[in-house]
């Protein structure tokens, strides 16, 4: 892939998601939050329309007049920015999120204890490759992750509507409903099942957004001379800061338990030499503040001197600073688009969707 192709791929990814996501956001504003959190409680997961600008590319609309004026959705913090002050309500929203999950309220006959229902809830963790989570309305009046010792007057189930590979489909949703009804019988709850047609429409639109923003950028290092010995290469990469995983992957850590970018030797595990390395950035999974692309380019330049290499594109054409700068500008535009969509790169939402 040339530098021009890389730039075009990001631009196209942005354009593809614009129309679909705007339409989806308009629908979600009317449906999902109201459906998920309709309650007589002053729910801490909801906020005033005056404090929320409805997400969408290119500006979008403000709050929807049909929503309760006390409605609020707390955005989960970026990974690596969690502090001891993170509230149970924020943790609950990161698990069951009206923006990316189909929410199913579970009405309880009587309050239930977390230690009694957790073994039952653990029976339903996935449908297909879509995670299922549960949160509970505690006696304090706040939603929180269900824990041992907690007491809950209402539950919420959430199934993620899309992943990097697929949207939630009819078979998965039917399986969810069947298993959820059996689960509810065991804990004395009654589920309020959303209409399948509506859910499928939301899931497909969300998956179009994910597909349109699934961007990965790579730069290559090509040996100026003989192929590198893998044994020697491992030492050089460790000195550069890479973690070497048992499966042969090389990970550049971000300092908070995550990764900035990866490196591939482009040969099979057990090979003795390679003449080409590829550094790869998973763009939607790295927060802009970490400057993943800039860090990857600096790393590549450092390896040029350490390994006697050239920075090239997929066609082995040199990638000069001007071209790298243009690509970086495209990355910044991409990040702005994701931020405007309320799915900031590197956020809990983005990591869930692009995992």
47 within some domain: no
State the Cα–Cα distance between residues 323 and 217, nearest whole angstrom: 13
pLDDT score at 68: 34
pLDDT score at 26: 52
Span of 67-71, 92-96, 100-104, 263-267 with lowest mean pLDDT: 67-71
State how far Cα 70 lies from the chain centre. 27
274 within some domain: yes
pLDDT higher than threshold 70 for residue 16 = no
pLDDT score at 3: 56
More confident residue, 352 or 35: 352
pLDDT higher than threshold 60 for residue 82 = no
Which phi and psi angles does 206 have, rounded to 5°? -65, -40
Contact criterion met (CB below 8 Å) for 234 and 242: no
pLDDT in tens, 115-158: 999 999 999 999 999 999 999 999 889 999 999 999 999 999 99
Residues 6+ apart with CB under 8 A from 340: 55, 56, 57, 58, 60
Closest by CA to 174, choosing from 190, 156, 193, 149, is 193
Average pLDDT score over the chain: 82
13 within some domain: no
pLDDT in tens, 47-79: 233 332 222 223 333 333 333 332 222 233 333
Show the domain range for 329: 212-353
pLDDT in tens, 1-13: 565 455 545 544 5
Q: How many domains does the chain have?
A: 2
pLDDT higher than threshold 80 for residue 177 = yes
Span of 186-190, 242-246, 283-287 with lowest mean pLDDT: 242-246
Whether the predicted model's global pTM rises above the 0.85 cut:
no
pLDDT score at 183: 97
Residue 155 and residue 277 in one domain: no
Q: Which CATH number does the domain housing residue 229 bear?
A: 3.30.1400.10
pLDDT higher than threshold 70 for residue 245 = yes
Closest by CA to 125, choosing from 171, 176, 170, 80, is 176
Structure tokens at 157: 């189930």
Residue 171 and residue 250 in one domain: no
Residue 158 and residue 247 in one domain: no
């Amino acid at each position: 892939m040339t530098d021009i192709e890389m730039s075009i791929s990001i631009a196209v990814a942005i354009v593809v998601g614009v129309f679909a996501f705007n339409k989806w956001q308009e629908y979600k504003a009317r449906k999902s939050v109201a459906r998920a959190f309709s309650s007589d409680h002053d729910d801490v997961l909801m906020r005033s329309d005056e404090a929320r600008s409805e997400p969408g590319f290119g500006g979008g609309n403000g709050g929807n007049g049909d929503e309760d004026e006390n409605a609020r959705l707390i955005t989960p913090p970026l990974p690596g920015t969690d502090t001891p002050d993170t509230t149970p309500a924020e943790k609950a929203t990161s698990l069951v999120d009206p923006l990316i999950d189909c929410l199913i309220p579970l009405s309880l006959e009587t309050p239930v204890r977390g230690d009694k229902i957790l073994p039952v809830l653990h029976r339903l963790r996935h449908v297909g490759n879509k995670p299922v989570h549960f949160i509970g309305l505690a006696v304090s009046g706040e939603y929180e992750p269900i824990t041992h010792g907690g007491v809950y007057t209402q539950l919420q189930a959430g199934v993620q509507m899309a992943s990097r590979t697929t949207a939630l489909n009819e078979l998965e949703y039917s399986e969810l409903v069947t298993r959820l009804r059996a689960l509810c019988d065991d804990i004395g709850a009654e589920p309020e099942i959303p209409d399948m047609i509506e859910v499928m429409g939301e899931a497909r639109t969300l998956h179009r957004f994910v597909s349109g923003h699934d961007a990965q950028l790579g730069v290559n290092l090509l040996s100026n001379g003989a192929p590198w010995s893998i044994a020697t290469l491992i030492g050089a990469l460790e000195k550069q800061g890479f973690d070497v995983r048992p499966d042969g992957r090389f990970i550049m850590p971000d300092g908070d338990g995550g990764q900035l970018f990866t490196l591939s030797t482009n040969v099979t595990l057990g090979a003795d030499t390679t003449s080409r390395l590829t550094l790869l950035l998973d763009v939607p999974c790295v927060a802009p503040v970490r400057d993943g692309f800039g860090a990857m380019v600096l790393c590549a330049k450092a390896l040029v001197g350490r390994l006697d290499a050239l920075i090239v594109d997929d066609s082995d054409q040199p990638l000069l600073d001007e071209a790298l700068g243009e690509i970086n500008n495209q990355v910044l535009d991409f990040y702005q688009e994701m931020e405007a969509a309320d799915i900031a790169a590197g956020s809990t939402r983005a990591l869930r969707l692009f995992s």
